[in-house]
Amino acid sequence: MLTEATLEHRLTALYVWVAADEVGTIIGTLSGGVVNQVEAHLRGIAVLPGWQGRGVAERLLEAIEREFEEKGCSRITLDTTEPLARARRFYEKHAFRPTGVVTSLFGMPLTEHAKTLGPRTGKRC
């Protein structure tokens, strides 16, 4: 549940990327954070319906992947659910693959996907 405390935690513990149109209206967001020395995790991605299919999500994903690579992460994970078929196709199109790890989100299967990032730079994630 999103509360003032959980929102504050997300904004201090996670990277939050936004995409804006030419007049500065936010049209998409992506958040994620570093899990450990080699792994990062995407928390969520959203694009306004009128902007979907126009490359916004791809640009957000590319930006956060570059950030994580620069920090030395070699792996990035995310979780998705069955009803989010369009999101799963998007992630799989961008080289995320199911890991076989399935947990539960309020009784609904939550499936982990992972992607290997570029070579490590010697930095720690």
- Render pLDDT for 16-34 as a digit per residue (tens, 0 to 9): 899 999 999 999 999 999 8
**44 or 90: whose pLDDT is higher?**
90
Pairing of strands 75-81, 39-47: parallel
- Render pLDDT for 46-87 as a digit per residue (tens, 0 to 9): 999 999 999 999 999 999 999 999 888 999 999 999 888 889
3 confidence band (pLDDT: 50, 70, 90): confident
What fold does the segment set 4-116 form as a domain? Answer: Aminopeptidase (3.40.630)
Distance CA 83, CA 70 (A): 33
Q: Nearest-CA neighbor of 57 among 36, 14, 86?
A: 86
Report CA-CA distances (Å) from 115 to 65, 79, 102.
10, 12, 16
Residue 17's beta-bridge partner residues? 30
